[in-house]
A and B are shown apart, each in its own frame.
Chain A
Amino acid sequence: DAGVIQSPRHEVTEMGQEVTLRCKPISGHNSLFWYRQTMMRGLELLIYFNNNVPIDDSGMPEDRFSAKMPNASFSTLKIQPSEPRDSAVYFCASSSGGTGTYEQYFGPGTRLTVT
């Protein structure tokens, strides 16, 4: 298996622009998680889906952030409009068996820089 695939790996954009991050989970996994990692705040869970349904989005910073999972093999995280404080590494992770499954498989991340 190719593992969790994220694109792009690096994104540089100007403040106010829309940014879309993409994730393809491991085939057969039915839970998907979006995380944000910064030096100051560590790893933060933004939102997670189970069977394509958003279960908990309490970690989403504000209305500028939105996430979708239209099918079992694809998810997007969108920031509109982007701000410099959104600069971080964004990880997607997937797991099998629902949120009670203990092992999550992380993708390589997308490094976002907002200038």
Chain B
Amino acid sequence: QQQVKQSPQSLIVQKGGISIINCAYENTAFDYFPWYQQFPGKGPALLIAIRPDVSEKKEGRFTISFNKSAKQFSLHIMDSQPGDSATYFCAALKRDDKIIFGKGTRLHILP
């Protein structure tokens, strides 16, 4: 019940295309859903996050869509660029508890 399932494991997208990464969770007590971005040789860094009372959040080319009834959320990267090539982790947590990370998606944007 503590797991966050992330797919796909890897993704290749043409420059200018839309990258989509999906995550699912079981624990309805989770109240915050962040996405972390990790470049090779670096630690993960917070990219964007959403709370379950919001169905969508957009920051620049990055959008989180949240479906509370389905217990699913996804990251969309519009107009994907080679600089977006990285590993993306979805995560979930509840107040005063630890972050549960997905397994990660390795995204490669073709130039």
What residues make up the interface of A, taking CB atoms closer than 8 Å to B?
4, 33, 42-43, 45, 48, 56, 91, 93, 98-100, 102-109
- The answer to whether B46 touches A91, judged by C-beta atoms less than 8 angstroms apart, is no
**A-B interface contact total, Cβ < 8 Å:** 45
With the chains together, A85 CA to B14 CA distance in Å?
37
- The answer to whether A104 touches B102, judged by C-beta atoms less than 8 angstroms apart, is no
- The answer to whether A106 touches B44, judged by C-beta atoms less than 8 angstroms apart, is yes
Separation in Å of the A38 CB from the closest CB of chain B? 11
Query: Which one of B17-25, B55-63, B75-83, B89-97 is at the A interface?
Result: B89-97
**Contact among A48, A103, A106 for B43, CB-based, below 8 A:** A106
With both beta carbons as reference points, the residue of chain A lying nearest to B102 in the complex is identified as A42
Cβ contacts under 8 Å, B97 to chain A? 99-100
**Contact among A42, A56, A103, A105 for B101, CB-based, below 8 A:** A42
What residues make up the interface of B, taking CB atoms closer than 8 Å to A?
32, 34, 41-46, 49, 89, 93, 95-99, 101-104
Separation in Å of the B78 CB from the closest CB of chain A? 24
- The answer to whether A102 touches B49, judged by C-beta atoms less than 8 angstroms apart, is yes
Known contacts A43-B101, A102-B49, A102-B93, then 7 further A-B pairs from the complex at CB < 8 Å, ordered by chain A residue:
A43-B104, A98-B96, A99-B98, A100-B97, A103-B34, A104-B46, A109-B42
- The answer to whether B96 touches A108, judged by C-beta atoms less than 8 angstroms apart, is no
Separation in Å of the A102 CB from the closest CB of chain B? 5
State whether A56 and B98 are in contact (beta carbons under 8 Å apart), knowing that A42-B104, A43-B89 are contacts in the complex: yes
- The answer to whether B102 touches A106, judged by C-beta atoms less than 8 angstroms apart, is no
- The answer to whether B49 touches A91, judged by C-beta atoms less than 8 angstroms apart, is no
